[in-house]
Amino acid sequence: MKTIFRAALCFILACSPAAVKGQLSKVYDVVLSGGRVIDPETKLDGIRNIGIVGNRIAAISVEPLRGKEIIDVTGLVVAPGFIDLHVHGRSNKEQEYQLHDGITTALELEWGIEHLKEWYASRTSKALINYGASVCWPFERFRSMDKYKNGVEHLRQVTLKGESKLETLFNVIGPSYADTPTSEENSITLSNIRKSLEDGGIGIGVPIGYLPKTNPEETFRVYQLAGELNALIFSHVREPGLISIHEAIANAAVTGAPLHLVHINSMSLGKIRVALELIQAANKKGIDVSTELYPYTAASTLIQSAVFNEGWQEKLGMTYGDLQWVATGERLTKETFDKYRVSGGAAIMHMMKPEWINTGVSAPGVMIASDGMPFSALAHPRTAGTFCRVLGKYVREDKVIDLPTAIEKMTLLPAKRLEGISPPMHRKGRIQVGADADITIFNASTVIDKATFEKGLEFSQGIEFVMVNGVFVLRKGKTVNEVFPGQPVFGKFKK
């Protein structure tokens, strides 16, 4: 309500005769001229000129504006920069694919990141787009066990060198999943989580699907802490299927922890309609639960993970031939599966139906998030194409949703979801006076993903300009070299 009032006030002030005169005589750093501006919060959808000063939007006007630099964006859509709540790449290698997909803020919230203080420091003045991460519960749990102190230190050294990777984390902490922490270790985990929140973590990543044997009491204690602190939990639930979704919602309900369920498509599979109904019903009861999906019919993860523990075929409704090995593109057999399960690496899992994805994309309130993987030439195409695929396939070609609704799912909804845990997010996901100048400009009639399961990663097409904090990182479809305007996004407990 407050934000709408503020937006309306800005609108009134911006339109008063004195304000209009002021706007016209002022010279802005950059003017984006003549584009179709879409702001999902104020429902603006019209031709406007935008004036930018420094890192903020300073004017939105139907009258022409004067600028040190004027970019003609006639015929293009001017939208808030896309916000991706769920990425696993931690470097500029992945960020370049993301910015060609229109993303201006990419956050690792499902898993979170270990040694957050050192990791945030390692990215300072080096990132193409905005970055941030949640506290990694599996790491804080690992850190609570004295016997792993060498592993903890090893990961710290890797982070200090700026070389931290999800796969390294996986391999180092993997052995701890079989441990049952003592009650003392559990309380150390909770105090570790508090400390990492103070290092800037955006909520708590609880990918329990990778530690599915976790004692329910242990999980409950983490939710209890989140409820006490009002810290958002991001969960990849225990197992695919409704029972695990029930478990997560029940924990949120009894502890008051705000909860975001990641990739509802691969967690609910053929039960996506019921899963969304459960979330809606929870919301009606005042339980704070949200969700997201990526627009592909295949999932992807590391083959050595618990997702492929005994019984995976029945749980996931798939078999060896539905698995594609990322390193080579080959489909697996029992023999190659057994071999790679030991050696480790990423697999793509072809296991969903197109109708399930349509259901998720069109459902009100469901956000778009990529679950983009660490770079590898044949990584899951969602790593490079999620947002443009929604705009090209689901909006333009298949007409599953309209353009402003799609933009809302990629900008305003994720920004609003994070505002409680990261208040500066109220300046993102919007094209409004005073908002951060994170802006994505694209051609609605050509925008499309280009990455495929067969050919691997490729930049998306149709994103023409991307501005991050007032600085162009993409111009006329090309990456601008040697600019690093990406800023950290922190949680509210940062000290």
Per CB under 5 A, residues contacting Zn ion are 236
Smallest gap from residue 385 Cβ to Zn ion (A): 18
Smallest gap from residue 494 Cβ to Zn ion (A): 25
CB nearer to Zn ion: pick between 100 and 263:
263
164, 167, 173, 178 alpha-carbon torsion, rounded to 10°: 170
- Which residues have C-beta within 8 Å of that of residue 129, sequence separation ≥ 6? 81, 95, 98, 99, 103, 104, 105, 106, 466, 468, 473, 485, 486
CB nearer to Zn ion: pick between 123 and 236:
236
Eight-state DSSP code of residue 84? E
* Beta bridge partners of residue 130, listed in sequence order: 105
* Beta bridge partners of residue 133, listed in sequence order: 108
Smallest gap from residue 261 Cβ to Zn ion (A): 10
CA–CA distance, 184 with 85 (Å, rounded to integer) = 33
CB nearer to Zn ion: pick between 300 and 487:
300
Structure-block tokens of residue 189: 């985990």
CA–CA distance, 266 with 440 (Å, rounded to integer) = 28
Q: What totals of helices (H) and strands (E) does the chain contain, helices first?
A: 18, 20
CB nearer to Zn ion: pick between 299 and 401:
299
Select from 227, 277, 276 the least CA-distant residue to 251.
227
351, 354, 357, 363 alpha-carbon torsion, rounded to 10°: -150
Smallest gap from residue 18 Cβ to Zn ion (A): 52
Smallest gap from residue 20 Cβ to Zn ion (A): 49
Smallest gap from residue 253 Cβ to Zn ion (A): 22
Residue 73: HSE in the Cβ half-sphere, 13 Å Cα cutoff:
35
CB nearer to Zn ion: pick between 152 and 264:
264
Smallest gap from residue 333 Cβ to Zn ion (A): 25
Phi (first) and psi of residue 239, to 5 degrees: -145, 155
CB nearer to Zn ion: pick between 209 and 385:
209
Smallest gap from residue 396 Cβ to Zn ion (A): 28
Q: Are strands 204-206 and 130-136 parallel, antiparallel or unpaired?
A: parallel
Q: Are strands 259-261 and 346-350 parallel, antiparallel or unpaired?
A: unpaired
CB nearer to Zn ion: pick between 23 and 268:
268
CB nearer to Zn ion: pick between 36 and 236:
236
Eight-state DSSP code of residue 375? P
Smallest gap from residue 85 Cβ to Zn ion (A): 12
Question: For residue 180, with 0-12 CB atoms within 10 Å meaning exposed, 13-18 middle and 19 or more buried, which class applies?
Answer: exposed
Smallest gap from residue 179 Cβ to Zn ion (A): 22
Per-position DSSP letters for 229-264, written without gaps between them: HTPPEEE--SSSSHHHHHHHHHHHHHH---EEE--H
Smallest gap from residue 449 Cβ to Zn ion (A): 20
CB nearer to Zn ion: pick between 305 and 324:
305
CB nearer to Zn ion: pick between 143 and 236:
236
CB nearer to Zn ion: pick between 249 and 302:
302
* Residue, CB closest to Zn ion: 236
CB atoms within 10 A of CB 410: 28
Structure-block tokens of residue 155: 């990961």
